[in-house]
Structure 1
Amino acid sequence: MAMASMARPIRNYLPGLLVLAGGLYTVYYYYMYWIRVYGALCIPGYGDPIKVEVTRGIWIRLDAILFPTVFGVILALLGVMLIWKKKFGAAVVALVLSATVINWPAFFLIAGGALLGLVFWRKTLLPTIDLPDETMEWIDAVAGLSVLKSFRRLPSGRLAYSFRNEGGEHVVIKETESPEAAEREAQALSATTDRDLPAPKAIATDGPFLLMTQLDGFPFLQPLDFEAWIEEIAGILSTTHQARMPDRQAHPRPAEPVIPGWAFDRANWERAARIFREETADAAPVMIHGDFEPANVLFRDGRATGLTGWGHAGCGPAQLDVGRMRVALELIHGGNVADTFLGMYKNAAKNRGFTYCRYWDLLAVYGWLEQDPGSIASHWRRFGITTLSEDEVRRRLERFVKTLADKE
C-alpha cells in the first residue's frame, strides 16, 4: 500500500516535470548562447580573439535563435499542463515537439518525460472507466459483458456509463446517491415496465449502482423549433400521467417555503412564502415521473423517445411534474417557453380536468432549491447550456418568484 501511494505522485507529476525542465533549459540555453554571441561581437576584450573573428564572419539570423527558444517556451507551458492535467494526447505532442529544441540535454528531458507520460497514461487513449473493479465484475456477471465492445460516459453529475456487449446489447450503469435510492428507482422502473411506459428496464442493483437497459435517444435542450420540441415534451408527460397509478407514493420533495441565503430581495421571497401558505392547492393523484425536466427527456430525430431519472416516480399530483418542468424551462429558455409548455400540456390533458395555479410553481421552485444555483447551472452545462451561470440562475429564480408573487 505504501509503495502504491509513493508511485502515484511519480506517475502523476514526473512526466510533466521533465517536460517543464526541458523547456526551461531550452530557454536558458539559447539565452546564454545569445549572451555569448553578443559579448564576442560587442564587448571589447570579451572572449577569445580567434572566436571573435570567427563569430564576426558568421551571419547569425535572429530566427535561428528565436525558433528553438519559442518552442522551449511552448514546451515549458506544455509541461505545466501535463502536471495539472494528465493527458495522453499532450504527452504525444510533447514527444513530437522535443526535436524542435535542437539541444541534446533538453531533448532527452522532454522526450523522456513524454515517453513516461505515454506509458503511465496509456489507458486514456480511451475514456477511463472510473467504476470500481468489483462493480465491473458484477456488470460482467449480470449483463454478460465479458467481451466489451464499446463504452462511453454519459453526461451526469454522478458516474453513468453506456456499455455494448458482444451481442450488440446496450446497458447503462448509473450511480445513485445511496443503495436505498438505487432500489427505489429499480422498483419505479419495474412499475413503468408493467404500464408500457417509455422508460428503461431495471436489470439489477448493487449497492448504489443501478444497471438497466438503454433507451434510444439523447437529451436535447437546444431546439430550433421550440413549439415542436415543447409539444413532444408535453405529449410524453401526458402519456405518463395516463398510465395506471402505482401503489407507491412519489418520493417527496420539500413542501415548505424557502428563503435562500443568497436572496437579493428577501421581501419578495417572504411575500411568495405567505402566498404559498395561503393558496395551498390539492389535486387528484396520477402516475408521475417525479423529476420531469429537459435533461431527462430523450429525443431521436426530433421525437421524444423516452424518459430517464425515475428515482422520484410514484403516485402524486400531475402538477408536480408540470411545475418542475416549468421552472427548468424558465431557467434555461425563459418564461415564454415555460408558458407554452403549460398551455400544450393543458390541451393534452383537457379531458382529465387538469387545473393549475401559482402554488404549484412555487412548490417547484422550493424543490429546485434542494440544489444550490451552481449545481443547477453545472447540471445543464453538460447538455450544452453554457450561458447559464450561477448568478444567472439566482437572477432568473428571483425574477420568476417575483412574477408569481405579483400575479393576481
Structure 2
Amino acid sequence: MPDPLRWVEGLTGGTVTRAERLRGGWTSEMRRVEVDLPHGSQTFVLRTFVDEFFVKHAHGLLTREAKVLDQLADTDVPAAACVGVDADALYCDQPSLLMTLLPGVVHVEEAGAADRTHELARQLAAIHRVKPAERPREYQPWTAPDRVRVPSATGRPGVWADAVDYLRREPPEYEGAFLHRDFHPGNVLFDDGRISGVVDWVETSWGPADLDVAHCSTALALLHGVEAGREFSSLYAAAGGRDLARADDHRYWLLLDALAFAPDAEKVAEPWRDLGRIDLTPEFLQDRLELYLASILA
C-alpha cells in the first residue's frame, strides 16, 4: 500500500522521526514532518489532498504549485521550495506535495491586524512584480451571475440582487499580472511582525491585479470588518502595487470575488475558528458579507 512517509524518506534520503498535523488549512491536510538526515534533522511540510473535489483536480493543482514554487526560488517572495510532488498518488495514499518548512505562524486575531494589513499590501504588490519565465494559466472566475446562491435567510435581498446584476456585463479589460489568486491572511506567515512566508500556490494565475486585491479585501472584511476590507485597495496602491482599474471596473472585481463566498462564507472560517476566532459564527459572517457587498455598491 502506498505510504506517504516512506515516500518522504525516499525523496530526502533520511528517516522520518515525527509527523504531526498542522492547523489552519481546509482544502488539504498539512503535516509537519521531521526527518533525520546525515547532516542533522530537517523539517518539511507534507501537503495532502483528502477532499473529494480537490483529489479529483489534484493533478493540475499540485503540478501547478510545484512549478510555481520552482519559479519563485529566484525571487524575493518568501515561498517554500518544492522537494517533490506525487500529483497522481502513485507513491502516497492521496495526491501529495513535499516542501520545505517556512518560519512563522498565521495570525487572524484582531490585535495587530492593522499593522499586518499594511504588510499584506506590501507583500501582494511584490508578488505582482514577479515576471515568471512561463506564464501560469489565465485566471478563472469562481462565480457568475447565474451561479450565485443567495442565502435563504437573508434580510437584504435587494443588496444581493443589485450585486448580481452588476456582474451582468463583460469583464473589464485589464493588463495581466502574476497572481497568487488565493492571497489572504490565512495563507501568510508572520515572524516577529514581518511576513516570513506565503503559502498555497495551487491557484496561481495570470489576470488582473484587482482580483488578488479583491480576494484579500473580502477576507479582511470577514475577519476584521467592512472598513478593513474596503481600505485594502488604497493600502495596496500606496505600497507601490500595480495600477488598479477605475472605480466602476474595480467594483466589478470586488463583487466578483465577494459573491463567490455565497451562500456559505463561513466555510472559509473553519480554519480561522481553529486558530481561535470562535466569534466568526455563520450568522456573523453572513451579516459581514452582506454589509461588505452593500458598501461596495454604495
* Common fold: TM-score over 0.5: yes
Q: Deviations over 1:13-43 (max 9, x none)?
A: xxxxxxxxxxxxxxxxxxxxxxxxxxxxxxx
**What is the match of residue 249 of structure 1?**
137
Q: How does 1:256-405 map to 2 (within 5 A)?
A: 256-257=144-145, 258-262=148-152, 264=154, 265-278=156-169, 280-349=171-240, 352-355=242-245, 357-369=250-262, 372-405=264-297
Deviations along 1:311-358, one digit per CA (max 9) or x if unpaired, are 1113211111110010001011002222332221111136x4333521
1:168 aligns with 2:41: yes
Q: Distance in 1 between matches of 2:138 and 2:281?
A: 31
- Distance in 1 between the 2:244 and 2:125 partners? 11
Q: Is the 8 A contact 1:251 1:311 kept in 2?
A: no
Amino acid at match of 1:195: T
Q: Give how far 1:279 is off.
A: 7.8
The count of corresponding residues between Structure 1 and Structure 2 is 272
- The runs of at least 4 consecutive aligned structure 1 residues that moved more than 6 Å come to none
Larger Cα-atom Rg: 1
Higher strand share: 2
Change (3 A) 1:143 1:375: same
Query: Which amino acid is the alignment partner of residue 140 of structure 2?
Result: P
Query: Corresponding residue for 2:100?
Result: 213
CA distance in 1, matches of 2:266, 2:118: 29
AA aligned opposite 1:254: W
User: How many angstroms does 1:292 deviate by?
Assistant: 0.6
Between stretches 275-284 and 341-350, larger displacement belongs to 275-284
1:256 offset after TM fit, Å?
0.9
8 Å CA contact 2:182–2:212 kept in 1: the answer is: yes
CA shift in 2, pair 1:401/1:147, >3 Å: closer
Between Structure 1 and Structure 2, the one with more helix by share is 1
Partner SS for 1:355: coil
**Equivalent residues of 1:263, 1:398 under 8 A apart:** no
TM-score, length-scaled by structure 1: 0.62
What is the SS of the residue equivalent to 1:169?
A: strand
Larger RCO, structure (CA 8 Å, separation 6 or more): 2
In structure 1, runs of 5+ residues without a counterpart are 1-131
Distance of 1:252 and 1:336 partners within structure 2: 27
What is the TM-score normalised by the length of structure 2? Answer: 0.83
Alignment of 1:6-405 (within 5 A): 134-148=3-17, 150-155=18-23, 156-157=25-26, 158-166=28-36, 167-176=40-49, 177-178=54-55, 179-180=58-59, 181-206=61-86, 207=89, 208-245=95-132, 246-250=134-138, 252-257=140-145, 258-262=148-152, 264=154, 265-278=156-169, 280-349=171-240, 352-355=242-245, 357-369=250-262, 372-405=264-297
Offset, 1:294? 0.6
* Deviation (angstroms), 1:214: 1.1
**What is the root-mean-square deviation of aligned Cα atoms in Å?**
2.2
